[in-house]
Amino acid sequence: MPETSEKRPFTATVLTLYPDMFPGHLGLSLAGKALARGDWRLETVQIRDFATDRHRTVDDTPAGGGAGMVLKPDVLARAIDSVSAEDNRPRLLMSPRGKPLTQEKVRELAGGDGVVIVCGRFEGVDQRVIDARGLEEVSIGDYILSGGEPAASILLDAIVRILPGVMGNDLSGVHESFEGGLLEHPHYTRPQVFEDRDIPAVLTSGNHAAIARWREEEARRLTVERRPDLLARTATKTPPKG
Ligand code: SAH
């Protein structure tokens, strides 16, 4: 009999006005194969199905005036409530006002049963439904997208690739950028010489200790140069080695 895991597969439920945007890239490559195998599940909920008026209205003008439209709290609340009440998965709202997404957060979410993700549109979502349904706002960076769907896809891509069994080589996640608080060292592969540029000699020396040292030094150099904020972050979090 094949070995089966006790755990239900990680399940993502995405609430959106554009369900056709899914699975999108999540249906291809490693994530897509894992989806097809049932290693994770993806459902979409069409928010518009919970509008009750003849025109199936989901948005209205902002209280206090101004440009754009706001997603109505009643419609969105019904959509959220349609996802089983005893569901204890985190409820996220993709939002530029949210906490910036980190690999640490991705790991935390990947360790759970799944996620319920609300994708905003227009100017955003009525604050009362965020408060009333305890939505946790998550940002994928300091820029504005036209909707939460691409942000949700990015979040799910990051989660799915670290689910058990999804990546062919489970070890390839270990030395990744951010996992050790550093950016990753540079990579090289054949040919040995490319447009007069050699692979650094140490990498073809066969000296594994020297290679490990070089990679660590390069990771540190790149992090100091490009992302000193990461060093400051780990310095306050992890006790010194040794
Ligand atoms: N007026 C809002 C932006 C609305 S953009 C503001 O200034 O804060 C429309 C929707 O796109 C948002 O509701 C959100 O769901 C999504 N979105 C836009 N940028 C995002 C980002 N950086 N991270 C996550 N979601 C984002």
Q: Is the pLDDT of residue 177 over 90?
A: no
The overall average pLDDT reported for the chain is 93
Residues 138 and 216 in one domain: no
Lowest mean pLDDT segment, chosen from 53-62, 75-84, 169-178, 203-212: 169-178
Which atom of ligand 1 is found nearest the CA of 93?
15
Q: pLDDT tens across 126-168, in order?
A: 999 999 999 999 999 999 999 999 999 999 999 999 999 898 7
Lowest mean pLDDT segment, chosen from 17-21, 61-65, 180-184, 218-222: 180-184
Residues 125 and 225 in one domain: no
Indicate if the alpha-carbon torsion angle 189, 192, 197, 203 is positive or negative: positive
Residues 43 and 124 in one domain: yes
The protein residue with its alpha carbon nearest to ligand 1, atom 4, reads 123
What pLDDT sits at residue 86?
Answer: 83
What pLDDT sits at residue 211?
Answer: 98
Indicate whether residue 16 lines ligand 1 (CB < 6 A). Answer: no
Q: List, as one string, the DSSP characters of 184-232.
A: PPP---S-SEETTEEPPGGGGS--HHHHHHHHHHHHHHHHHHH-HHHHH
C-alpha to C-alpha distance for 53 and 115, rounded to whole angstroms: 29
Indicate whether residue 97 lines ligand 1 (CB < 6 A). Answer: yes
Residues 186 and 140 in one domain: no
CATH number, position 187? 1.10.1270.20
C-alpha to C-alpha distance for 72 and 50, rounded to whole angstroms: 11
Kindly state the percentage of the chain with pLDDT values over 90.
84
Q: Report yes or no on 168 lying in a domain.
A: no
The protein residue with its alpha carbon nearest to ligand 1, atom 10, reads 147
Range with the largest mean pLDDT of 123-132, 171-180, 226-235 = 123-132
More confident residue, 36 or 165: 36
What pLDDT sits at residue 242?
Answer: 39
Query: What is the average per-residue pLDDT within 202-207?
Result: 98
Contact 40, 156 (CB under 8 A): no
Work out the burial of residue 168: count CB atoms within 10 Å of its CB; fewer than 13 is exposed, 13-18 middle, 19 or more buried.
exposed
H or E element at residue 77:
helix 73-81
| Structural domains of the chain, count | 2
Lowest mean pLDDT segment, chosen from 81-85, 124-128, 230-234: 230-234
Indicate whether residue 73 lines ligand 1 (CB < 6 A). Answer: no
For residues 13-22, one letter each, b for 16 or more C-beta atoms within 10 angstroms of the residue's C-beta and e for the rest, the string is: bbbbbbbebb
Task: Examine the fold and report which residue of 137, 160, 183 is the final residue of a domain before the chain moves on.
Answer: 160
Nearest one of 175, 209, 205 to 192, comparing CA atoms:
205
Residues 44 and 99 in one domain: yes
Domain containing 207: what range?
Answer: 175-237
